[in-house]
Structure 1
Amino acid sequence: MDRNRVLLERLWPMDGQLALSAEAEHEMRADDYVLEMPQSGERIVGRDRMRAMQREYPGPPSIQVLEITGAGDHFVVLGRSDYGGDIYYVANIVEFGNGRIVRETRIYGAPFEPPAWRAKYATSPPQ
């Protein structure tokens, strides 16, 4: 199995239980790591800044991984995130370099009611 995929599966296991310590997660990131969150306009630059931000996170993150796709140095992790009782879907684009995560772009979307005109074409995805 792809080494980078194994690292991602350790970081975000499919059972939703974050298995790594904060320090082990910290070690998976490159020193010049960048996290982009386009919807909020935030950019966290540096592994140490990311770790400092995580220390102030208001409660443990709750992420249900739905799928991990990709190979080599580029992956996408799709999931559902509970943020203070609000559910968001997340697409996390992950880039590796030298065996560490160098960049993530996290795109969040809140669920919404589909328009009625699409009902005859659509089915509900599995939960």
Structure 2
Amino acid sequence: MTTAEDTVFAYWDACEARDWERFAGLLADDIVYHLPQTRERIRGRDAFLRFNREYPGDWHISVTRVVGDGRRAASWVTCAVDGEHVPAVSFFDLDDDGRVSVVTEFWPEPYEPPPGREHLAERYPAGAVV
């Protein structure tokens, strides 16, 4: 039996490999992809595949962590594109057949910390994996 973690690792592996046939096999027909920061929603396997196929740039995904329980999982990945490393956090729901049915994804923008806590925190280089 495949776990939610296994499915999410396979999802990112197929995505990185641009193996869109294998990627499609991991998705429910009625998948819903949510991007809360831009208030976008993509419905259906075909639209979601096209969204990923047509995403611009020479991007690459590396997985930092995947955790799951039952039919839910979350991942932390880093997307490298044009020399920039951007983290993403994704939440996955799987259907009864173990296919990805809902993805909610956050692509946080880095920002400078507010002044006054330098004595409490250390800074690490941008793009470093923690």
Does TM, scored on the shorter chain, surpass 0.5? Answer: yes
Quote the RMSD (CA, aligned, Å): 2.3
TM-score normalised by the chain length of structure 2: 0.80
Deviation at 1:82, TM superposition (A): 2.9
Match in the other structure for 2:88: 90
- Is 1:8 the counterpart of 2:8? The answer is yes
What is the letter of the counterpart of residue 8 of structure 2? Answer: L
Q: Looking at secondary structure, tell me which structure has more strand per residue.
A: 1
Contact 2:66–2:76 (8 Å) recurs in 1? yes
CA offsets, 1:29-80, max 9 Å, x none? 0011000001111100001111122232224432222211221111111122
Contact 1:2–1:71 (8 Å) recurs in 2? no
Contact 1:68–1:75 (8 Å) recurs in 2? yes
- Is 1:110 the counterpart of 2:116? The answer is no
User: How many residues of Structure 1 are paired with residues of Structure 2 in the alignment?
Assistant: 124
Match in the other structure for 1:74: 72
> What fraction of aligned residue pairs are identical, expressed as a percent?
28
Range moving further from structure 2, 98-107 or 4-13: 4-13
For structure 1, the 5+ residue unaligned runs are: none
TM-score normalised by the chain length of structure 1: 0.82
Q: For the residues of structure 2 that align with 1:48 and 1:64, how far apart are their CA atoms? A: 24
Deviation at 1:19, TM superposition (A): 4.2
Q: After the TM superposition, which residues 9-88 of structure 1 pair with which residues of structure 2 at under 5 Å, given as runs?
A: 9-13=9-13, 18-19=16-17, 21-88=19-86
Deviation at 1:2, TM superposition (A): 5.5
Q: For the residues of structure 2 that align with 1:43 and 1:76, how far apart are their CA atoms? A: 18
Contact 2:29–2:44 (8 Å) recurs in 1? yes
Note closer, same or farther for the CA distance 1:20–1:5 as it changes in structure 2 (3 Å cut).
Answer: farther
Q: For the residues of structure 2 that align with 1:80 and 1:63, how far apart are their CA atoms? A: 6
For structure 2, the 5+ residue unaligned runs are: none
